[in-house]
Amino acid sequence: MMKKELFIPDNQVAGRNTQAIKVGSLIFIGGQMSLDSAGRVVGNSIETQARNVFESINDILKNAGVSMDDVVKHNVYLDCADEELPTVMQTLDRIRSEYFSEPGPVTTETRARLAKENALIQVEAIAATSDDKRPLMPSDHWNWPTEEPYVHGWKVGDVIFVGGQRSLDAKGDLLGNDDIAAQTHNVFQNMEAVMKEAGGNRSNLLRQNTYYSFLGEGRDVTDYWEKMTRVRLENMSNPCPCGTGVRVIGFPNSKELIQVEGIGVLGENKIRLMPSKHWDWSITKGPFSQGWQIGNFIFVGGQISADENGRAVGENLEIQTRNVFDFIHNTLREAGADERDVVKINSYFGTTKDNDHNKNISEVVSEIFHEYYPNSQPVYTGIGVTGFAFEDLLIEIEAIAIRSN
């Protein structure tokens, strides 16, 4: 039986959320922001906020008996203006270099809208204590524009963590300028290269997150997603990984249109989770997956409030959020699991430039989350995004569960 330990350090952040969960050799850390014990943002600069965030992660790991050297994956969500981005990235990289040394974790950096007014950064992480782990750095792979301590992947036992793959060359220069099809193809080729470096292939990738930038509206939103997804389907296994696809403000390189990160597991004894009477996608029904189970792991892809044709259902956020949590429940049930097995929840909700509006959205989602998870067991990360694959959607939520036996 895999023991589950919850970590809720005193005065870590305001709120009821578990800050970290340790299951076996893995430690999942929920989204950390620079907050005081009352939930107020501390610091008005990226220098202060980033340092507080990484100190927070460092304290959580110490509480769990490990260190920053054990971090294998981290996602960074930045809320800043276009003209501030170069300075923000330089400051962030300098601060991270104080906490991570080679070989560091995999990294994914996206620009989003954070739930707290004046918050500039949120970071979530996964650490691994296993001695059976190695970094993954495929030859002839893309590289960062500046020297960084990060790697493209980590293999921990049979689990493979793939960092945000990008359409860059070996010098960090962009490939496929202003071409979503070309960038998508390059990104998925890079994903497969990391999987092969771990001794697997695209069929071992079970959970995949696609972040893309598109500022259109209405039907153009779905048309853009379908164009991108046709390229994705050419580069994914059949059946596909379960996944999340959300629109973000952008990336560290302002000309990037897409980044993809994921988790794979080696082994053939896996079960595809496809509940009946579930929502479906707008194109090419068949290869997409709602979830996967392999061993104790259960991956639930981003769930949306939609019908069998990918059309949004529910006229407000509360209805859509409840529908989504019900879909997660149904997918877990397919694997013989329930909410008690969930260790990680990521919630992506549509936001605007109105901070009061975004705060209300975050509060609605948080309240419903605690109804479905009354013991606050999963770590939680809430991210504001600019939109989703289909028009009129308001929220998308993904989950990772690990069964105790």
> Tell me, what CATH number does 365's domain have?
3.30.1330.40
Residue 288 located in a structural domain = no
Backbone angles phi, psi at 329, to 5 degrees: -60, -45
**Structure confidence at residue 358 (pLDDT):** 66
CA distances from 263 to 153, 204, 299 (A): 9, 9, 9
Residue 97 located in a structural domain = yes
How confident is residue 229, by pLDDT bands cut at 50, 70 and 90? confident
Q: What percent of the chain has pLDDT over 90?
A: 75
Least confident of 9-13, 129-133, 327-331, 391-395: 9-13
Q: Is the same domain home to 163 and 89?
A: no
**Structure confidence at residue 355 (pLDDT):** 65
**Structure confidence at residue 14 (pLDDT):** 47
Least confident of 62-71, 213-222, 293-302, 324-333: 213-222
For residue 19, give the amino acid letter.
Q
In sign, the C-alpha dihedral spanning 150, 155, 159, 162 is positive
Q: Which residues contact 235 (CB under 8 A, 6 or more apart)?
A: 184, 185, 188, 189, 191, 192, 202
**Structure confidence at residue 247 (pLDDT):** 93
The chain-wide mean pLDDT, for the chain, equals: 92
Sort residue 220 into left (φ over 0), alpha (ψ -120 to 50) or beta.
alpha
| Terminal Cα distance for the chain, rounded | 5
Residue with tokens 């974790």: 105
Q: Which of 75, 98, 131 is the last residue of a domain?
A: 131
For residues 321 and 36, the model is more confident at 321
254-268 burial, b if ≥16 CB within 10 A, otherwise e? Answer: eebbbbbbbbbbbee
Q: Is the same domain home to 247 and 235?
A: yes
Q: Is the same domain home to 181 and 276?
A: no
Number of domains in the chain: 3
Q: Is the same domain home to 278 and 400?
A: yes
Provide mean pLDDT across the span 158-187: 96
Strand partners of residue 201: none
Q: Which of 112, 131, 150 is the last residue of a domain?
A: 131
Helices (H) and strands (E) in the chain, counts: 6, 19
Q: Is the same domain home to 237 and 306?
A: no
9, 13, 14, 18: CA torsion to nearest 10? -50
Per DSSP (E only), the strands in 237-290 are 242-247, 258-265, 270-273
Q: Is the same domain home to 168 and 100?
A: no
Residue 287 located in a structural domain = no
Range of the structural domain that residue 334 is part of: 271-282+294-405
In whole angstroms, give the CA distance from residue 372 to residue 342: 11
In sign, the C-alpha dihedral spanning 128, 69, 6, 300 is negative
**Structure confidence at residue 362 (pLDDT):** 83
| pTM summary value | 0.95
Please determine, for residue 360, whether its predicted confidence score (pLDDT) is greater than 90. no
In whole angstroms, give the CA distance from residue 201 to residue 332: 26
Q: Which of 131, 157, 178 is the last residue of a domain?
A: 131
